[in-house]
Structure 1
Amino acid sequence: MTDTKPSVLFVCVHNAGRSQMAAGYLRHLAGDRVEVRSAGSMPADQINPAAVAAMLEEGIDIAAEQPKVLTDEAVEASDVVITMGCGDTCRFYPGKRYEDWVLEDPAGQGVDAVRPIRDEIKARIEALLTDLLGQ
């Protein structure tokens, strides 16, 4: 048994919606048991306000987060890389565990449209947590 905690990187194009919601859930549910990062291949200027509102309904505040650019260092420092709608804009790094979560893009949508995306992300995060920590 090793003392290092698993690390997860969530990547989407703008790092403003899906990846930020996923990171928020994982931080909230895992506490300090998992290292969490998020980034985008073409980061937006700010977090999607509908994603912030949808997460606040769950008691998770992601308003202070800032979209970040995807770097080689972030990928290399992560055990699991989860992409969301990147297509070919996110590079592949050998030796990493990859998952591609097909989720609707919340960009430009209201909070009513973002809720089902948020709920699907939550279910996937719960399954990921069980996989990472439940052994």
Structure 2
Amino acid sequence: MNPQQPPLLTPDSVLHRASERLAIRFGGVFSEETVERVVFESYAALARTATVNTHLPSLATRFAQDRLTALAQSKGAIAKPVPEVLFVCVQNAGRSQMAAALLRELGGNGVHVRSAGSQPAADIGTSVVQAMNELDIDLAQEYPKPLTDDVVRAADVVITMGCGDACPVYPGKRYLDWQLDDPDVLTLDGVRRVRDEIKAHVEELLQSLEITPNA
């Protein structure tokens, strides 16, 4: 522990308090022990690739809350009022982040979106952030997340982008594979091209889900 860090601000204390809040939120669905396990597992998973740990407990709390929601949905304990779409690529730092952001932007409240990576990077690619900013879509609050079984189980549609066989396959789900170049090895113009290809795919997906795109 950093001797200058107040005890109440240590990662463990922050995570314990987050676990308590989430245990109340998911009361009657998960036990306190289950919630705490998911919170600390989420922190450990993000810490494996994080280069800066300052905001890691808060990101882990967000990640854990989304995982718990997904797990509750897969068990039927929480209703799914709209289709759940999961985008998966290798690093969750380029293609899947752009796809998730575009689907949120165009699908609005008609769809719920998640993204993950089979081998998540530490940060979202700079050129990816710049290309999305050009469409007035801000990725500042997004972060690479590892692929977990719970988010796959909760999804209605799973869309992979170059992650091979990393994504588990469950019956009753719709699986798609979008063949797209990896932005990590492209120039900014190349990233823009991939972004526009993803947007076209997203518009087709919305049509197939019978969701009217936002203007």
TM-score by length of 2: 0.59
Equivalent position of 2:101 in the other structure: 24
The alignment partner of 1:127 has SS state of: helix
Task: Give 1:12's aligned amino acid.
Answer: C
Alignment pair present for 1:104 and 2:181: yes
* Residue from 183, 187, 195 that aligns with 1:118: 195
Equivalent residue runs for 1:10-49 within 5 Å: 10-49=87-126
Q: Whose RCO is larger (CA < 8 A, sep 6+)?
A: 1
Structure (1/2) with the larger strand percentage: 1
The alignment partner of 1:36 has SS state of: strand
> Contact 1:40 / 1:70 at 8 angstroms: preserved in 2?
yes
Q: Give the unaligned 5+ runs of structure 2.
A: 1-79
* Residue from 118, 140, 144 that aligns with 1:67: 144
TM-score by length of 1: 0.93
Task: Give 2:162's aligned amino acid.
Answer: G
Q: What is the CA RMSD across the aligned residues, in angstroms?
A: 1.7
* Over 6 Å off, 4+ runs: none
> Contact 2:100 / 2:115 at 8 angstroms: preserved in 1?
yes
Corresponding residue pairs, total: 134
Task: Give 2:168's aligned amino acid.
Answer: R
Kindly state the Cα deviation for residue 73 of structure 1 after the two structures are TM-superposed: 0.5
Q: Distance in 2 between matches of 1:7 and 1:90?
A: 16
Equivalent position of 1:77 in the other structure: 154
> Contact 1:47 / 1:63 at 8 angstroms: preserved in 2?
no
The alignment partner of 2:184 has SS state of: coil
Q: Distance in 2 between matches of 1:23 and 1:109?
A: 20
Task: Give 1:85's aligned amino acid.
Answer: G
Task: Give 1:72's aligned amino acid.
Answer: D
Q: Distance in 2 between matches of 1:29 and 1:111?
A: 23
The alignment partner of 1:59 has SS state of: coil
> Contact 1:17 / 1:47 at 8 angstroms: preserved in 2?
yes
Structure (1/2) with the larger helix percentage: 2
Identity of aligned residues (%): 60
The alignment partner of 1:88 has SS state of: coil
The alignment partner of 2:159 has SS state of: strand
